[in-house]
Each structure stands twice: as structure tokens, then as C-alpha cells.
Amino acid sequence: MTIASTRAQAVAEILWELKRADKLATLSAVADRAGFPPGPKCRTISSCLTVVRRDWPHLQWWRAVADNGQLAEEQAEFLKEAGYGTSPADEGMVEINAFEEQLMTWEPVEATQE
């Protein structure tokens, strides 16, 4: 298994967790939860999401959103269908209404003491 597929598997599990909680998460938060850096301009996590969309099309990839809450129209359509409110933003982008309230929060993982 390659690093990319290992990361994509971890991201897939987080997307499943988000679906069960009916929440969203930022790209950086998903990458952090999966145990790797999001990469410059979130390119690493975005590449993982491309693999997830290809290999696990049933997972709701659109639950991983840009850190600023702005999205392209395709992702906005999925969010609207799921009942999330959106509003127009700058340069043809769309933003999620009540963005912070929609985000999943995870407790920080504490190091195990021996």
C-alpha cells in the first residue's frame, strides 16, 4: 500500500465519521485527524480527496471543506442537497452559512503515559 492510499484510507474513515455526525470539517482538520500535514495550500489533503472520490464514490467527500468555508459550485450543490445553507461569496465562490457551527470538533489526542 502506498503512502497516498494509506492517507486516503484514513481520510475515508474520517469522512464516514463526519457523515455519521452530520458535520463538516476543514481540510486542515481532516488532514490533522488523519495524521499528516495538509500540504501547501491543502494540496496533499485535496489529492487524498481525489483518491477517495475515485475509490469510494459513496463517501461524502464534500464534507471536507476549505479552511475559510468557501467552496466551488459543485461542492456547494452537494451541501445544499444535504440541507446546508450557503450564500454567494467573492469571485464566483460560495460560502457556508453558520460555518463554525457546522464544523466537527475533536478532542485533542493526548500522548499515552507509560
Q: Scanning the structure block, which residue is given the C-alpha cell 476543514?
A: 26
Kindly report the backbone phi and psi dihedral angles of residue 26, in degrees, each rounded to the nearest multiple of 5, phi listed first. -75, 160
What one-letter code names the amino acid at 9?
A: Q
Q: Which residues pair with 94 in a beta bridge?
A: 71, 88
Cell of 29: 482538520
pLDDT of residue 110: 58
Burial class (CB in 10 A: 0-12, 13-18, 19+), 93: middle
- Do residues 42 and 71 lie in contact, with contact meaning Cβ atoms separated by under 8 Å? no
List of domains in the chain: 3-102 (1.10.10.10)
Tens-binned pLDDT, residue by residue, of the chain (114 aa) = 565 678 999 999 999 999 999 999 999 999 999 999 999 999 999 999 999 999 998 999 999 999 999 998 899 999 999 999 999 988 888 999 999 999 998 876 554 454
pLDDT of residue 106: 86
Task: Report DSSP state, residue 97.
Answer: T
Alpha carbon separation from 50 to 36, 80, 100 (Å, rounded): 16, 21, 25
pLDDT of residue 10: 94
pLDDT of residue 39: 94
